[in-house]
Amino acid sequence: MRLGVIGYGNMGESFAKALRERAEVVVYDVSEEKRQKAWAEGFGVVKSTEFLLEHSQWLLVAVKPLDVVEVLKSLRGKVGERLLISLVAGLSLSKMKELSDASKLIRLMPNINALVGKATIACAFGSGVEEKEKESFLKLFSVCGSLYELKEEAFDAFTALAGSGPAFVFRFIHALALAGVKEGFPYEVAKSLALDVVSGSCELLKEKGGHPEEWVVKVASPGGTTIEGIRVLEEKGFAGIVIECIQKTSEKARKLL
Ligand SMILES: NC(=O)c1ccc[n+]([C@@H]2O[C@H](COP(=O)([O-])OP(=O)(O)OC[C@H]3O[C@@H](n4cnc5c(N)ncnc54)[C@H](OP(=O)(O)O)[C@@H]3O)[C@@H](O)[C@H]2O)c1
């Protein structure tokens, strides 16, 4: 299977690099510099979307929202039986259809963790995508991260939790590191400790399962140190802050559409 990637920026490059494990990937980018980069990194490169159409069975659109109208219009009436996959934030299946007139459409919403092949990806399938195409798509794209099939109505909430989520996690890690500095560690040491704690806790919860609160109880012994910290989080409304953060982000995502 040959996949044509349109736009070799952050997302296009990350997806192209992950997908080449399982498919032949050909790249088109409007920028000569990006085309040269893709070529130097071992991809087949073409100089126009027309060539890309000739050489691809599926197409992945990875340009900025501002550029996508031009890209989809340039594909209008030429996509045929190919799957047209977009990871452009806020671009609905109906808008993709209106602009490209393609019949087999897939909408994705990844997050920045695609850069390390660990993206959390929402996907919605247009009605023209056949069951076996959907299965092939899921098999191929699982190499980029975890895929969640969602109704399009859930994309705003997903954008807040999983799309913007890494920024909130980075903020938490930075806050932990600052707390370490307050307690006397150099920032780099404190950051390394914070990263280990966050990634180790995620691994533990994934591997052992259970409710997160069960693990809190295991760490917080009666009258011990941890419960002192938990009391502060409770008093300051930690869960409430996080819930409001996701809610406001989701509302903003809805307004952008
Ligand atoms: N970054 C994220 O965390 C993230 C998360 C979820 C979804 N997304 C979505 O992913 C998409 C790409 O984001 P990105 O961060 O990868 O953007 P990016 O780094 O700017 O990459 C886009 C690339 O497409 C090129 N391009 C522009 N117009 C083109 C055209 N007509 N034909 C072919 N290539 C063209 C750009 O070239 P020039 O630079 O020369 O314009 C650039 O190399 C966006 O729609 C965004 O909504 C991103």
C-beta of 155 in contact with ligand 1 (< 6 A) = no
Pocket test of ligand 1: the residue of 48, 63, 123, 156 to mutate, having most ligand atoms within 8 Å of its CB, is 63
Query: Of the residues 5, 15, 29, which should be mutated to test ligand 1's pocket, given the most ligand atoms within 8 Å of the CB?
Result: 29
What phi, psi does 130 have (nearest 5°)?
A: -80, 160
Could you tell me if the CB of 7 is within 6 A of ligand 1?
Answer: yes
pLDDT in tens, 40-51: 999 999 999 999
Q: What is the mean pLDDT of residues 74-78?
A: 94
Helix (H) / strand (E) element for 226: namely helix 226-236
State which ligand 1 atom lies nearest to the alpha carbon of 28: 33
- Tell me, what's the pLDDT at 254? 84
Closest ligand 1 atom number to CA of residue 88: 45
**CATH numbers and ranges of domains, the chain:** 2-154 (3.40.50.720), 165-256 (1.10.3730.10)
**Residue 257 in this model has a pLDDT that exceeds 60:** no
C-beta of 6 in contact with ligand 1 (< 6 A): yes
CA distances from 150 to 145, 194, 226 (A): 15, 32, 38
Q: Count how many residues are written for the chain.
A: 257
- Mean pLDDT for the stretch of residues 227-236: 97
Of 85, 145, 156, the residue nearest 113 (C-alpha): 145
pLDDT (tens digit per residue) in 154-213: 999 999 999 999 999 999 999 999 999 999 999 999 999 999 999 999 999 999 999 999
Residue 69 confidence (pLDDT) above 60: yes
- Higher pLDDT: 228 or 257? It is 228
Dist. CA 9 → ligand 1 center (Å): 5
pLDDT computed for residue 253 by the predictor = 86
Please tell me if the CB atom of residue 62 comes closer than 6 angstroms to any atom of ligand 1. yes
Q: What is the pLDDT of the chain when averaged over all its residues? A: 96
Predicted local confidence at residue 135, as pLDDT: 97
Residue appearing with tokens 């209008």: 76
Cα atoms in the Cβ-side hemisphere of radius 13 Å centred on 240 = 5
Question: In 3D, which of 141, 112, 191 has the Cα closest to residue 5?
Answer: 141
Ligand 1 touching residue 145 (CB < 6 A): no
pLDDT at 255: 81
Please determine, for residue 256, whether its predicted confidence score (pLDDT) is greater than 90.
no
With pLDDT > 90 as the criterion, what percentage of the chain qualifies? 95
